[in-house]
Structure 1
Amino acid sequence: MIRACRNRGDAEIILPGEPPQSLDPDILWLDLVNPDREEELLVEGLLGIPLPTRDELKDIEPSSRLYVEEGGVYMTASLVWKVETGLPELTDVAFILTGNRLVTIRYAEPKSFALFTAALHRAGVNYRTGAELMARLLETVADRTAEILEVTVARIDALAADVFVDQKTAKRRPPRYLEDKLIDIAGHQRLVSKTRDSLVSLSRLVSFFRALPLIRHDQEAGELLRIVSRDVQSLSEHAAFVSGNITFMLDASLGLINVEQNAIIKIFSIASVVFLPPTLVASVYGMNFQFMPELNWNYGYALALLLMLLSAVIPFLFFRWKGWL
């Protein structure tokens, strides 16, 4: 699908439909969503520039993601999407400036694009250049990334409240409670990791974009990019801080699991020590020797039971006195 956006914010669908022979001068943005080869050839014919393929968008070399060629400026950034599904992914989006137009090529639906398109319809802003429109789009991407981090921080705080509870609440927790929380922590770590990768990609793109000669002569777009660059830097630092908190949560959860396991092992160890002396007494009087004087005592059985009881109670009281229980 090809969506064309005019400088006043309204949009129309070029394909599917009757392909145009030329583009209106007031069309500043062509948004290609999952384009097929027919759509790519149409846009190449309308603009007179080659478009990168889907495989070329995945190239991680800077020379393949940020370059100027045949009158067009080609920039590729990795954006986070599928955040709400719990399995976030990165998708590569191409930003191409040619003449006074912006062309975007994407094979996913990052929420930032939907937010930006909706804002265009509501605001009705009359953009002058494709560079200014792209700067506004990158600003929306940065705002969406900030929203993702804010939601993640709120969820991590709620998770910390569940993990670090008082002892009375901890005793009422179901089995394998902390082990299940490790899965949630891993999900948050994956999201923050993808977000940091996206911010690194955006930082490279914005730096390259700001250095272009056309930005030096576009004061408004340059000011917007300066703000976006500062926001991306701040978000990168915040994402690193959030990642450190998640690492602490992971280490703390593993530590609590070890404490619980050690408590269980301690109970078994104390039980074995408490019942070892009575077992020894019972073993002595369970031997089948012919001459054992205690076997002929009238109260030998009762004394043996009392001896086994005392040999169990005395270690137990000793452990309580030492504070090991």
Structure 2
Amino acid sequence: MNNNIITTLSPAATLEDIWIRVDAENKAEVARIAAKYKVEFPASSEGVFEDHDSVCLNITHMMPEAQDFRRETIVIAFSDKVVVTLEPKGHFAPFDKALARFKRHPGLVQSSYSIMRTLLQAMNDAAAETIDMISQALETMNDQIGVITSGLDSSGREIGVSDINDTMIELNEKEELISRCLECQLSLARAARYLRMEINGSDHELKNMVETLLSDMDGVKQHASFEHEKVRYLQQSVMTSLNVKQNQIVKVFTIITAVFLPPTLVATFYGMNFAVMPELTWKHGFTATIIQTLLAALLPLLYIKKKGWLR
């Protein structure tokens, strides 16, 4: 694109003249707009398409949906005269804030590049809100993991391995979600860099605004990276709790084995078919055998307790 052209549009131009919103599912309308404004939209597998008149980009964005999130792909083609957005289902919620800003600040409609910057700003603000929602969910999970670490729930019931596994699955989902948010931020920052390259070199104010936008995008990316590290830390905490839980289970079975093995050995002796067993003729032979069996069980238990293995 020729960077020496003047990008400010005529005063008579309205927002609807510059920003063309199209339902991405309406193939006939997409083809008409592409032919009218001489733009070629890239395939979903392509990130950027450039020609001598315009730049077209695929930008991914994570959208809140009920209790979950979905990834949407927004296609934006922009030139020095027009901005065309292909929006899923004919509506893209983050652009509602952009419309509100255009109404509050009509000066933002001075050029297609200024409109493009405002749209990217709205998407970045929405991304920041998504990261905040994930952060709040992780704060809630902090309490949940604290309960797991303590080993008992609010009712005093011992936390089981299945409870820990459920928490781990939830954390894995949060990690994947944040990873997708990071990927979306990368595509958003790429779009801002293309916008910066296309802006008229004399429009220093708009260039500075785009630089500020890039800094904001980097800040959101850093926040997402911080939340990603937090998820990894929580995952490690849960895995540690799971390992401790499993070690405790193994320890219990080991102690049970150590306590009952000597009495089992005593019972084995008296289960042998010897011809002569003097204890059978003793008056208190049965009592002595019971006491001997109890001592065989108690002595290992006392030894284990003395070593502190019961703690």
Answer yes or no: same fold by TM over 0.5: yes
After superposition, the C-alpha distances for 1:208-246 in whole angstroms (9 at most, x for unaligned) are: 21122x342333322221111001112222222211111
| Structure 1 equivalent of residue 150 of structure 2 | 167
C-alpha separation in 2, matches of 1:35 and 1:308: 80
Distance 1:173 1:206, change over 3 A: farther
| Residue 36 (structure 2) aligns with | 46
Q: CA deviation at 1:66?
A: 4.8
List runs of 5+ in structure 2 lacking aligned partners: 1-8
The equivalent position to 1:157 in structure 2, one of 139, 152, 155, is 139
Q: Which residue of 2 aligns with 1:75?
A: 57
Q: Please give the residue correspondences for 1:140-151 in structure 2 after superposition, counting only pairs within 5 Å.
A: 140-151=122-133
Cα displacement string for residues 97-139 of structure 1 (whole angstroms, at most 9, x for unaligned residues): 2342211123355431233234445x26241111101101111
User: Does the C-alpha gap of structure 1 residues 283 and 42 become closer, same or farther in structure 2, counting only changes over 3 Å?
Assistant: same
User: 1:211 aligned to 2:197?
Assistant: yes
Residues 28-59 of structure 1: per-residue CA shift (max 9 Å, x gap): 20011224232123323432x03315xx1331
Kindly tell me: are residues 177 and 168 of structure 1, through their superposed partners in 2, closer, same or farther at Cα, counting changes over 3 Å? Answer: closer
Counterpart-to-counterpart distance in 2, 1:66 and 1:43: 16
Number of aligned residue pairs: 292
Counterpart Cα distance in 2 of 1:84 and 1:224: 34
| Alpha-carbon distance in structure 1 between the residues aligned to 2:70 and 2:279 | 76
Counterpart of 2:191, as a letter, is L
Distance between the aligned counterparts of 2:99 and 2:25, measured in 1? 18
Distance 2:27 2:143 in 1: 52
For residues 219 and 66 of structure 1, the distance between their equivalents in structure 2, rounded to whole angstroms, comes to 26
Q: Does the 8 Å contact 2:138/2:231 carry over to 1? A: yes
152, 177, 188: which is aligned to 1:191?
A: 177
Provide the C-alpha distance between the structure 2 equivalents of 1:228 and 1:148, rounded to a whole number of angstroms: 18
Identity of aligned residues (%): 23
The 3-state SS of whatever aligns with 2:115 is: helix
Sort the Cα spacing of 1:70 and 1:57 in 2 relative to 1 into closer, same or farther, 3 A: farther
Letter of the aligned partner of 2:60 in structure 1? S
Larger RCO, structure (CA 8 Å, separation 6 or more):
2
Matches of 2:158 and 2:116, distance apart in 1: 51
Q: One-letter code of the match for 1:240? A: S
Counterparts of 2:117 and 2:102, CA distance in 1: 13
Q: In structure 2, the residue corresponding to 1:115 is in which secondary structure? A: helix
Native 8 Å contact 2:19 2:82 kept in 1:
yes
- Matched residue SS, 2:83: strand
Alignment counterpart, residue 245 of structure 1, candidates 215, 230, 244: 230
Note the residue ranges of structure 1 that are not aligned, 5 or more in a row. 1-6, 8-23
Root mean square deviation, CA, Å: 2.3
Match of 1:58 among 39, 45, 48: 45
- Aligned position for 1:288: 273
1:312/1:141 Cα in 2 relative to 1: closer, same or farther (>3 Å)? same
